Each structure stands twice: as structure tokens, then as C-alpha cells.
Amino acid sequence: MSDTSVLSSSNGTATPARPVSLFTIVLLLALFAAFLLVIRWFYHPAATAAFNGAPENLPKELEWRANTDARRKTLREVREKEAKDATTYGWVDKNAGVVRLPLERAMDLTAEHYGAKK
């Protein structure tokens, strides 16, 4: 007799093998849900704290990361520089002829340029 997925009945006709029962499917889903609950209950990822080290131990380009005060000071300086750059005229690259304009003036020039083409 061969091992196949077809069973023979008492009258000699072939019947297909039974499909997986609904009970088995529900049991597997319940086991999976229980696994997820256990993972959620016990798994707590470690939060990494901000780097707070001595500025003397850092290279020059990373001194701003030394502590919270250094990071705040650097952020304040960057924001001041960006605010100044957004409101003043200046050269970006003098050899290439690239200038920096205040945002309002740049928007006016752009509107004039593209408005004239219509």
C-alpha cells in the first residue's frame, strides 16, 4: 500500500484527506496571540541617553556634543546665523557670481521674472 493523501473508504471509493480543522487554526492563532502578549509584557528596549562627556575628550568638530549646554549653545548660534543669512545680502561665491538675497526680495524677483513670461 502506498502512502498518499487519499484515504479509501469501506466501499472501495477514494475520499480526499480531511482539511485542517477549524479548531487547529483557532488554537494556532491563540498561541500566536499569547506569544505576542508575552513579548509585549517582558520586552523593554533600552533607551539610550544623550552623550554627556568631557569636551576635552572629544575631537574639535564634536565638541558641540559634549553636554546639554554645549548643544543648546550650538543650536542657538546656528539659528542666529541662519536668521542673519535669510535677511541680509552677501556673496555666496564671488568668483561664480552667486549672491545671497533676503527671502522677501528673492520672492519678489522670482514673481517678476515668471510673471513677465505670461
- Flag whether 94 is in a domain: yes
Specify whether the CB–CB gap between 86 and 103 falls below 8 A. yes
Residue 75: inside a domain: no
Indicate whether 67 belongs to any domain: no
pLDDT tens figures, 89-111: 999 999 999 999 999 999 999 99
**pTM for the structure as a whole:** 0.46
Cβ atoms < 10 Å from Cβ of 65: 15
CA 104/CA 117 separation, integer angstroms: 21
Position 116 in a domain: yes
Contact 78, 71 (CB under 8 A): no
What's the CA gap between 74 and 65, in Å, rounded?
9
Query: Would 66 be classed as within a structural domain?
Result: no
Is the pLDDT assigned to residue 24 strictly greater than 70?
Answer: yes
Residue 69 confidence (pLDDT) above 90: no
The per-type count for the chain, helices as H runs and strands as E runs, is 3, 4
Residue 113 in domain: yes
**pLDDT reported for residue 51:** 63
| pLDDT value of residue 43 | 86
Q: pLDDT, tens digit, for every residue of 32-67?
A: 999 999 999 988 877 766 666 676 777 878 888 788
Residue 21 is assigned to a structural domain of this protein: yes
Spell out where 9-97 has E strands. Answer: 14-16, 90-93
Among 66, 65, 72, 62, which residue's Cα sits nearest to residue 54? 66
Cell 509585549 identifies what position? 40
| Total domains in the fold of the chain | 2
**Separation of alpha carbons 75 and 85, rounded Å:** 15
17 is in which domain, residue-wise? 6-42
Rounded Cα gap, residues 89 and 102, in angstroms: 6
**1 in any annotated domain:** no
